[in-house]
Chains A and B, each alone.
Chain A
């Protein structure tokens, strides 16, 4: 799945920032799959995930001028746009209503992350996540895939805020060693 690189990253960024359609087609061809992967890890409904993917590329097109190469790679920037868009979608009233209409809701008192069974967990980051300890997995699930703040996680899991921070950090260090 490694894409054929025909542009260096600075070249690609320069063309994208000029809204070059060919460069955007290249970007789409090479990165839509990876971004669709991350979106699908957050949004289980494939139709909604597809809508979000398109939305993400439209946002990349609109916001490309704000991309600052000194702060990180282009893919990292796009990945964060995809993650944020997916989390926003999941939290939106319209998406939640759709989900309610499709299936009877889970017990609302369940702790998120422990009750949620991701539809796909055998690829990408989730696959890596599977190798973490249960507690660390929950923390990454809540913070990365569901977008909860450290404060919210501290409330949900009934553990001190400082502990949430250190445990997430150590989970990330673990994760780092696995990829």
Chain B
């Protein structure tokens, strides 16, 4: 390309005055990077134009200046603004305002969530504890009720024989009853009042059949109140008796320690 011809074509003036098309402008700027003489020609025309324009200057109305200065003071940026590049941590991505807000929001969300999580955990634990307590209470109430019902059934059952055992001379306070179902051979012991024993001793229930004792089971005096205990079965019994024996006694009855006795047939 002949740069001199290009410069002389009027493109310089056309470009500077803003009359060149978009395509022409792009081409001109491209050539400027390549040809210093084109830049020099452009500069020369720009300077001449500026000189001409300054020569043709009119006095601007003072109000326009005041309005402009007021504008830049009110809406403009603080002056002077020093652009200081912030030291950037390569490990930390530049956080935009959006990211900062997001971070702040997530921290708040975390705190709120943690608080509720703790509250729900605490509430749940309390409810579980209460539930367990209620269940335990229900269980014990149920068992008491069952025993009462069982006792009630036994007492009203025509096949059941009630044998009241009274205290011997050794233990006049002791008393217990036997509910004996002669058809099913089931034996229940109702402890009314049996004194507490040393920890190595237990009570033992016997059935006397033709003058011979039959072991119906060892038992500890119940901690409280009237309790019905299911003892070993027996088809026959002339009398029932309770002795005090060593814990886990496997031998016969110690008759000297006979506490209560009751005959099945009066």
Residues on A close to B: CB < 8 A?
Answer: 1-3, 15, 18-22, 24-25, 28, 32-38, 40, 46, 50-51, 53-54, 57-58, 61, 70-73, 75-76, 79-80, 83-84, 123-128, 143-144, 150, 168-173, 175-176, 179
Contacts and interface: CB of A to CB of B under 8 A. Distances in A.
Given A36-B57, A53-B60, A58 B68 contact: yes
A58 B74 CA distance: 12
Contacts of B212: none
Contact of A2 (B46, B54, B83): B54
Interface string B53-77: 1111111110111011101110011
B19 A123 contact: no
B36 to A, nearest CB: 13
B43 A124 contact: no
B52 interface: yes
Interface residues on B, range: 35 or more
Nearest to A128: B52
B157 interface: no
A34 B13 CA distance: 19
A68 B212 CA distance: 127
A61 B76 contact: yes
Contacts of B46: 72-73, 75-76
A71 B15 CA distance: 10
A25 B54 CA distance: 17
Contacts of A75: 46, 49-50, 53
Nearest to B61: A50
B10 interface: yes
18 contacts: A19-B72, A19-B76, A20-B80, A21-B76, A21-B79, A24-B72, A28-B69, A36-B58, A50-B63, A54-B68, A57-B64, A58-B68, A73-B50, A79-B50, A123-B58, A124-B52, A172-B19, A179-B51
Contacts of A28: 65, 68-69
Given A21-B69, A170-B10, 13 more contacts: A19-B80, A21-B76, A21-B80, A40-B58, A53-B60, A70-B32, A75-B49, A76-B50, A124-B55, A143-B19, A172-B10, A173-B10, A176-B10
B14 interface: yes
Given A54-B64, A73-B43, A176-B13, A22 B79 contact: yes
Q: Which of B13, B51, B71, B77 has the most CB of A within 10 A?
A: B13
B14 A172 contact: yes
B79 A20 contact: yes
Given A71-B29, A75-B46, A76-B16, A37 B57 contact: yes
Interface of B: 8-14, 16-19, 21, 29, 32, 42-43, 45-61, 63-65, 67-69, 71-73, 76-77, 79-83
A80 B18 contact: yes
Contacts of A21: 69, 72-73, 76, 79-80
B21 to A, nearest CB: 8
A66 to B, nearest CB: 15
B32 to A, nearest CB: 8
Per CB-CB distance, the 9 closest pairs between chain A and chain B, nearest first, are A124-B56, A33-B57, A169-B10, A172-B13, A21-B79, A32-B60, A123-B56, A36-B60, A34-B53
